[in-house]
Amino acid sequence: MHQAPILITGASQRIGLHCAERLLEDGFPVIVTYRRERDSIDRLRTLGAHTLKADFSDEAGITGFIAALRQQTASLRAIVHNASEWRPDAPGQEAEAFRQLFQVHMLAPYLINLHCADLLRHGGPADIVHIGDDVTRKGSKKHIAYAASKAGLDNLTLSFAASLAPAIKVNGIAPALIQFNADDDAEYRRKALAKSALGIEPGAEVIYQSLRYLLDNPYVTGTTLTVNGGRHLI
């Protein structure tokens, strides 16, 4: 059994939920954040996870979470910044959308890393992992604000890796299509699958495998793992 818990933000569904369940299965204590009560959060509690309600949509929500986290635990094995909103650029809501994406993808990881890095300084292996997006490689015509905020997250990986070494490793994972959303129609799915050399919807396990590689490897920091099925080859 591992000692200090791993924090995963936004773990009530999909990739975050899968990684939380797999970490618990592999004997890691886990703390997760969520925004609203759901069966999945109850299931994680049953599996032994500690759950903290947190909305990173504004600074108060982020700083309130930091205070709650520090009440919950005196040490952490890792921090996984998974919480994310995927929203297209919407006419009339440009500035609000940009602010929301900046808050969740950049301000939350920035403030949590700054104010909780000390919880990782316990002498043992310690990691911060930012879940980004392969789209930062070339931008996005329809998700301009989203891609920009994820590109900022990529840069936080470099700065925090330099700043927190050697005690804490800081890395990123840049997925492309991992898991469709329920409302993705057949045409959207066909086009999305055609954008990668491997042409599959791999599912969340490939992100868990990438997370474990980063947690288990003592000699990787300042790196972002591309998990994109070879999109860059098309």
Ligand X SMILES: Nc1nc2c(c(=O)[nH]1)N=C([C@H](O)[C@@H](O)CO)CN2
Ligand Y SMILES: NC(=O)C1=CN([C@@H]2O[C@H](COP(=O)(O)OP(=O)(O)OC[C@H]3O[C@@H](n4cnc5c(N)ncnc54)[C@H](OP(=O)(O)O)[C@@H]3O)[C@@H](O)[C@H]2O)C=CC1
Q: Report the interface residues with ligand X, using CB under 6 A.
A: 84-86, 133, 176-177, 181, 192
Which 3 state secondary structure label does DSSP give 183?
coil
The amino acid occupying position 198 is: L
Please name which of 21, 12, 9 lies closest in space to residue 40, comparing C-alpha atoms.
12
* Cβ at position 93, least distance to ligand X in Å: 17
Q: Cis ω on the peptide bond leading into residue 166 (within 30° of 0)?
A: yes
Nearest to ligand X of 168, 211 (CB atom): 211
* Cβ at position 89, least distance to ligand X in Å: 14
Task: Determine if residue 218 is left, alpha or beta; phi over 0 gives left, psi from -120 to 50 gives alpha, anything else beta.
Answer: alpha
Nearest to ligand Y of 3, 59 (CB atom): 59
34 catalytic per annotation: no
Compute CA 165 distance to the chain's CA centroid, rounded to the nearest angstrom: 20
Q: Which helix (H) or strand (E) holds 60?
A: helix 59-72
Question: Binding partner of residue 192 among ligand X, ligand Y, none, CB under 5 to 8 Å per kind?
Answer: ligand X
Do 170 and 122 form a contact (C-beta atoms < 8 A)?
Answer: no
Using CA atoms, how far residue 9 sits from 6, 71, 97, 112, 123, in Å, is 10, 16, 20, 11, 24
CA atoms of 166 and 163, how far apart (whole Å): 9
* Cβ at position 105, least distance to ligand X in Å: 9
Nearest to ligand X of 77, 143 (CB atom): 143
The amino acid occupying position 136 is: T
Catalytic residue among 34, 146, 208, 213, which? 146
Buried b (16+ CB within 10 A) or exposed e, 8-17: bbbbbebbbb
* Cβ at position 35, least distance to ligand Y in Å: 3
Question: Binding partner of residue 131 among ligand X, ligand Y, none, CB under 5 to 8 Å per kind?
Answer: ligand Y
Nearest to ligand X of 192, 220 (CB atom): 192
Write out the residues near ligand Y by the rule CB under 6 A. Answer: 10, 12-16, 34-36, 54-57, 82-86, 104, 131, 133, 175-179
* Cβ at position 32, least distance to ligand X in Å: 16
CA atoms of 171 and 53, how far apart (whole Å): 25
Nearest to ligand X of 87, 121 (CB atom): 87
Q: Catalytic residues, which ones?
A: 146
